[in-house]
Structures are given as C-alpha cells and as structure tokens.
Amino acid sequence: MGDWWNGVELWVIGLPFAFQFALVMTVVTPMCVGLAWLIDRIVDYASARFGPSPENERPL
C-alpha cells in the first residue's frame, strides 16, 4: 500500500504547478464539500435527537 501511495506522490510532485492545482481542485474540493455536508447532517441529527423537546421550551 505504501509503495503505491509513494508512486502517486512522486507523480503529483513531478507535474507542473498548474496541473497540480487543477488536480487538487478537482479531487480535494468535492471531497471536502461532501465531508462538510456529512458532518452537517450528523450534527443536525444529533441536535434533533438529543436537544430539548418542543414541549420543554419555556414561552417567551
């Protein structure tokens, strides 16, 4: 596994900067957006599940 990853790293390092940037933007950006969406869904679920119920809220 480590040899394969080292080969990928060496390949990316050997690319010109513009191609490195384009590769990172097309691969890392969607992964980060997907991970942020997943974290948002988990936090929403947890806050709805473990937060106060509507009948426990005090009136203003």
- Is residue 8, in this structure, part of any structural domain at all? yes
Would you say how long the chain is, in residues? 60
Inside any domain, residue 60: no
Residue at 31 is within a domain: yes
Q: Does residue 52 register a pLDDT over 90?
A: no
Does pLDDT of 59 surpass 90?
A: no
Number of H helices, E strands in the chain: 2, 0
Tell me, yes or no, whether 12 lies in a domain: yes
Distance CA 9, CA 5 (A): 6
Average the pLDDT over each of 16-20, 49-53, 56-60 and give the range with the smallest value: 56-60
In this prediction, residues 9-36 reach a mean pLDDT of 94
Contact between residue 23 and residue 15 where contact means Cβ atoms under 8 Å apart: yes
If we measure between CA atoms, which residue out of 9, 38, 37, 36 comes closest to residue 24? 9
Domain range enclosing 33: 2-49
Share of residues in the chain with pLDDT > 70 (%): 88
pLDDT digits (tens, 9 = 90+) for 2-14: 788 899 889 989 9
Domain tally for the chain?
A: 1
Q: Is residue 56 part of a domain?
A: no
